Amino acid sequence: MGFFKKLKERLFDRKNKNKEEEIKNDLLESTENEENYEHETQEKNNDHQEEKVELTKEEKSLIKKQKKLDKKIEKQRIKQLSKEQKLNKYIAGLSKSGTNLTKKITELQSSHNQLDEEFFEKLEEILIMSDISISFVNLIMDEIKKEVRVENVKDKSLISEIIADKLFTIYANQSTVDTKLNLDNEGLNVLLIVGVNGSGKTTSIAKIAHKLKQEGKKVILAAADTFRAGAIEQLNIWAKRLEVDIVLPDKEGADPASVVYKAFEKTKSENYDVLIIDTAGRLQNKVNLMNELSKINKIIEKFVPNAPHESLLVLDATTGQNGVLQAQAFKEVTPLSGIVLTKMDGTSNGGIIFTIKDKLDMAVKLIGLGEKIDDLQEFDLDSYIYGLMKGLMPNEE
Ligand SMILES: Nc1nc2c(ncn2[C@@H]2O[C@H](COP(=O)(O)OP(=O)(O)OP(=O)(O)O)[C@@H](O)[C@H]2O)c(=O)[nH]1
Ligand SMILES: [Mg+2]
């Protein structure tokens, strides 16, 4: 089976659809039984009135079973619906990148008759231009050429499927693919958010808070970006809009660590599930930033051992390879547990995700696919590749 077909099977949950059919059949069967039963019951009841009580019990059990099956089907339907909604977010958010890649590969296919060295050179260029690091491109190109040679592929229309397959396998085979936020069910979870100015920290915090609140968690924010008054106010507005608590600095320019301290003091008296800390990412002065973050980290550890549960670096996808250099600098300043890749909807070079993997060996945990509050999604490789390469997939698969 081809890669695209397998990808669609995973995304559109064909297995679950079959399961749903099974449940429906089960239900039909039990309803048929019930109808037979009702028929028999009526006949019997005409003769023996006293048997009615026992038979009604049987009926009750059948109805109970039916309700249970109904619930099961509804649950499955909701699960599938939210999966489809998520995929639609990916498709919309990646439309710039997807259109760009589709256009270039289609052009390449129509302008070349053979899968020869020139074809591969042009393909390599397309991949590099889509913000994939040269080392990752080299790896993919080697694998693509190998497959074409070993399988004796002549049909150039198959090349997009081979690219998708190789992107997927190389990404998935490299060590870190864990995309879940590391949150405990018990006690206070702490998320520290870092990143350069304008990368999308504050808005991502709002989106994360919204998501967690929807999951029933009690969230509190700490405005530890005390560098600009505007930053504090921005987070404050979000907190009001989302109806989550916030701890603000006493004054602009206050020690960020003092805000974090105040936030922990507040969590002592109330039961919060998650504390999210906004920070000022002034990478211009590495030593200052390092000191500031290490002071914050010390306070976090003092209140909650083994915290922060996540130290997320927010990266702006539109900054391309520059962003990756920033991330490398951040990695030297403070320990990081994952990446929030924002503004994916604003770039036409969707390959940045592979560069992050290649250069940083860090998992992208959340991906920003638009400006709306629910546009920050858990990263999912299948949906990502689908969004990027949808235009290259044959419809019938
Ligand atoms: N289109 C799009 N815009 C985004 C996304 N994430 C953030 N933005 C926008 O990026 C801009 C900057 O976001 P902020 O959250 O203020 O960035 P910040 O890192 O907190 O910036 P500073 O506080 O200055 O350090 C805002 O206009 C956001 O709406 C995204 O995924 N897609
Ligand atoms: Mg901010």
93 in contact with ligand 1, CB cutoff 6 A: no
The pTM (predicted TM-score) of the whole model is 0.84
Question: What are the tens digits of pLDDT across the range 142-173?
Answer: 999 999 999 988 888 889 899 999 999 888 87
Q: State mean pLDDT over 336-351.
A: 93
Among the residue ranges 31-40, 222-231, 252-261, the one predicted with the least confidence is 31-40
Q: What is the mean pLDDT of the chain?
A: 86
346 in contact with ligand 1, CB cutoff 6 A: yes
Cβ–Cβ under 8 Å, residues 207 and 191: no
Cβ–Cβ under 8 Å, residues 178 and 200: no
Cα angle at 39 between 38 and 43, to 5 degrees? 110
Question: Coil, helix or strand for 200?
Answer: coil
What are the structural domain ranges in the chain?
Answer: 3-93, 97-173, 189-379
Among the residue ranges 71-75, 203-207, 341-345, 385-389, the one predicted with the least confidence is 71-75
pLDDT range class, residue 18, cuts 50, 70, 90: low
- Name the residue at shortest CA distance from atom 8 of ligand 1: 200
Which ligand neighbours the alpha carbon of 280 most closely? 1
Atom index in ligand 1 nearest the CA of residue 367 equals 31
Per-residue pLDDT for 20 more than 70?
Answer: no
Question: What are the tens digits of pLDDT across the range 263-289?
Answer: 999 998 888 999 999 998 777 777 888
Residue 236: which residues within 8 A CB-CB, separation 6 or more?
223, 246, 248
pLDDT, residue 332, reads: 87
Per-residue pLDDT for 48 more than 80?
Answer: no
76 in contact with ligand 1, CB cutoff 6 A: no
Per-residue tokens: 239: 């907190």
- Name the DSSP letter for residue 264: H
Q: What is the CA radius of gyration of the chain?
A: 27
Question: What are the tens digits of pLDDT across the range 90-110?
Answer: 999 999 998 889 999 999 999
Third-level CATH fold of 97-173? Four Helix Bundle (Hemerythrin (Met), subunit A) (1.20.120)
Which ligand neighbours the alpha carbon of 342 most closely? 1
- Does 3.40.50.300 match the CATH number of domain 189-379? yes
Which range is most confident: 18-22, 45-49, 81-85, 348-352?
Answer: 348-352
133 in contact with ligand 1, CB cutoff 6 A: no
pLDDT, residue 83, reads: 83
Per-residue pLDDT for 42 more than 70?
Answer: no
pLDDT, residue 39, reads: 54
Atom index in ligand 1 nearest the CA of residue 231 equals 23
In the sheet with 219-224, reading across from the earlier edge strand, the strands are: 245-247, 219-224, 274-279, 189-194, 310-316, 338-342, 364-368, 376-378
Strand partners, 377: 367
Question: What are the tens digits of pLDDT across the range 175-208?
Answer: 656 688 989 888 999 999 999 888 999 999 999 9
Per-residue tokens: 193: 């958010």
